[in-house]
A and B are shown apart, each in its own frame.
Chain A
Amino acid sequence: MKWMASPRHLRRLGVLGMNARNALYIGPNNPRRFYPRVDDKLLTKKLAIDVGIAVPELYGVVETQHGARRIDRILDGRSDFVIKPARGSGGDGIIVITGRIGSSYRKASGVPLGLDELSHHISNILSGMYSLGGQPDRAMIEYRVRAHSVFDRVAYHGVPDVRVIVYRGYPVLSMVRLPTRLSDGKANLHQGAIGVGVDIGSGRTTHGVWREAAVTVHPDTMYPIAGIEVPDWETVLRLSARAFELTGLGYLGVDIVIDSQLGPLILELNARPGLSIQIANRIGLRSRLELIDREADRKASPEARIAFSKTRFGSAP
């Protein structure tokens, strides 16, 4: 394999680069005034609840340093929750607590975390350590999603999520992100999670990418990652398509988790979704975006859009 691809070859394959994504798709399609709707997860959650889109339940919000020191009151005896910065990016600053060990909490990876460490972490969140631009932030405490059993063999200490790229309301490309030991149970590719392409038509996984290289098995469990059917795929597509109306953003990454009891829930939205999804699917994003620009109806209903995407982007069964 050559160590570098030729730009012409990539262009022919319809691969989307960072500059083209920013200048041609994010710039014209995502009005800046709508950014808070996705950058502030509390606002996203509120908007979603208002229109009846399923999201993980919010237990509490910490807004002051005083609150960070009295975190035990807010937790109110809970020992199973997720703490995340409301304006965080790239999964930074998220802590997943799955239980208690004595007086300490236990992280998803099994590492114990003392109460003062927890409140220090929250205080860092409030100071804006993880927020875009370092602005003061709020910490959210919310329901910890239980991974659906289909992912048992291919998820390491964490909850896989489904990332769907939605362009003008049309789902164009999707992948499942599987946590690994390297990613500390988090489902972010740059933290070491695996991305596995998902066929838009069938909801079945295809190929994997881990640290920018192709993989066929999960590196921790050694189980194959292809051919897994994402449960309730229709709902996943419907949630993604509706996220367009929710935010008004034309180019959007929708992160959906599939809870074992509650089914698909929108976890967060992303106005600048990454490009590795192309490697996971082995499909160039740009050719699909151009197809939407060329052929798709701008005023179609979410159902019509899903049908269009399934027929045009789904592989033959």
Chain B
Amino acid sequence: MRRWHLPVLVALLTATAVLLIVYKVRTLGYPLTPAQEVQSWIVEARLSFEATGGAAKAELAIPFDPPGFTLLDENFVSRGYGLQTERRGNNRVAIWSTRRPSGRQVLYYRTTVTPHQTQTLEQAVPALPTAPAYDELHGQAVNAILDEVRSKSADISTFSSLLMQVLARPTPDENVQLLLPRQATREDRVRTAIFVLAGARIPARMSRGVRLVDGTRGAQVEAWIEVNNGERWIPIDPDTGAQGYPPDFLVWWHGDTPVYSIERGRNAELRFSVTRTMEAALETATRQAQLSQSAVSSYSLLALPVHTQNVYRTLLLVPVGALLIVFLRNVVGVLTFGTFMPVLIALAFRETDLVAGLLLFSVIVTLGLAVRFYLEHLKLLLVPRLAAVVIIVILLMALVSILSQRLRFDVGLSVALFPMVILAMTIERMSIVWEEHGPADAIKQGIGSLIVAAGCYLIMFDQRVEHFVFVFPESLLLVLALTLLLGRYTGYRVTELMRFRALTEAIKP
């Protein structure tokens, strides 16, 4: 029981952390590295029309859960209009209305979308269409086409692809000519295909959307066909028969209804424009997660106020530093003043920068030591002496700040961020070691502490580490697991390998 306790605990912690991290990366799209950016697109639909008097009403289809994308943001710009949005089957519609418009009216809908890997689950399988009542002429043509396509296809998706290819041939045969108007557009072909597919009792529908090309003004609306194979909707390119939407295609609405309709207006015009923006992946992921209302995101640090976030940004790094200390002390065997003192010093280095921090730290400790040795002559009691060192450390810090201000040496000002009580304790400990074990030991341990502090600083405030721990606070469970494991480490320390090396020569086993 006792033997398995720790491994089981460690395994549990690790599994929890890894699962959460994988979930956040895979599903919510949190970025693993800080500089990661994702491209997102701002798509704007501009609907304009001339009011003809009386209350005007404009309806515009707007994207609803487009496959391959997430809507991060939506804006409706329309002065003097009442707005409501409404679900209508598979579509969403924005309805603007106003009582007394005059002149040219312009309505904007703007959305920010970002590519998103997960499949949007399509609603239930539609009822099979009943075969339309073709007249004799059309019926023969439809059957001929269906026979031709059926003989060359394996299933519904290949069947539909082939059908689209047949319809898109540059030199259509008689049957196709009969069903398609001369110079058929994509839309016409999709319509015909739906008509033909209904003969084979395959559910199909039209979908329309825009290509996301940066800087487009007046993007063309493209028609696609989607067929249902009994499990899901499969999009097919009416030109080539290729299956699946290309990554830059944003589905705007489904069905053969017009994208907009205007009541009491004329000369209506709809224009799409597209611009690309780069957004920090973290922001995008956060918004995405909020939209998906995932529990993980609502209990995330990113949901906290910004200044609290900043506190945690630093706080969460302390365990990383502590783990490093555990490693350095129990596996390497480095001696430092005060167990976690280097971590606190490293926190102070964050504000001062490494080199300036090391310099300031050495200056303060050296001056403090000098004063401490002087105090030794006064034969003070321990606690008053410690208090005196704290006071002197603060005075020294103030002095360094003032001097560096005079000398226009800016980093000197940040000395105020050093933890002065820690500094005072370090000075006291160092002076005791100095007296008891000589200056060599004291300086050696002092430099050891500084090196460990510098190491802590470099690891804790590495941008990647900082980002990772903050975005995935559950990684601290991994840190905890590692710390627990190190807590049962009974192997030799690196310094012991040196210390006992004489034994390997002396003992003959």
Contacts and interface: CB of A to CB of B under 8 A. Distances in A.
Interface of A: 1-7, 9-13, 15, 17-20, 23-24, 65, 92, 116-117, 120, 123-124, 127-129, 190-191, 207, 209, 212-214, 275, 278-279, 282-284
Contact of A18 (B436, B488, B496, B501): B496
Interface in B297-333: 330, 333
B501 A1 contact: yes
B490 A20 contact: yes
Contacts of A129: 382, 432
B382 A127 contact: yes
Contacts of A207: 506
Given A13-B503, A15-B503, A17-B490, A4 B379 contact: no
B436 A92 contact: yes
A244 B3 CA distance: 28
Interface in B421-451: 432, 436-437
B23 interface: no
Nearest to B436: A92
B498 A3 contact: yes
A65 B381 CA distance: 9
Interface residues on B, range: 20 to 34
A13 B504 contact: yes
B492 A17 contact: yes
Nearest to B384: A127
B437 A190 contact: yes
Interface string B2-44: 0000000000000000000000000000000000000000000
Interface of B: 330, 333, 379, 381-383, 432, 436-437, 487-494, 496-507, 509
8 contacts: A4-B494, A10-B504, A18-B493, A23-B489, A123-B381, A129-B382, A214-B506, A282-B503
Contact of B496 (A17, A123, A127, A209): A17
A28 B173 CA distance: 91
A23 B488 contact: yes
B506 A5 contact: no
A264 B488 CA distance: 38
Nearest to B433: A92
A113 to B, nearest CB: 13
Given A18-B333, A18-B493, A24-B490, A128 B501 contact: no
B490 A213 contact: no
B379 A116 contact: yes
A120 B385 CA distance: 12
B448 to A, nearest CB: 16
A275 B493 CA distance: 13
B333 A9 contact: no
A5 B497 contact: yes
Contacts of B503: 5, 10, 13, 15, 278-279, 282, 284
A230 to B, nearest CB: 21
A70 to B, nearest CB: 15
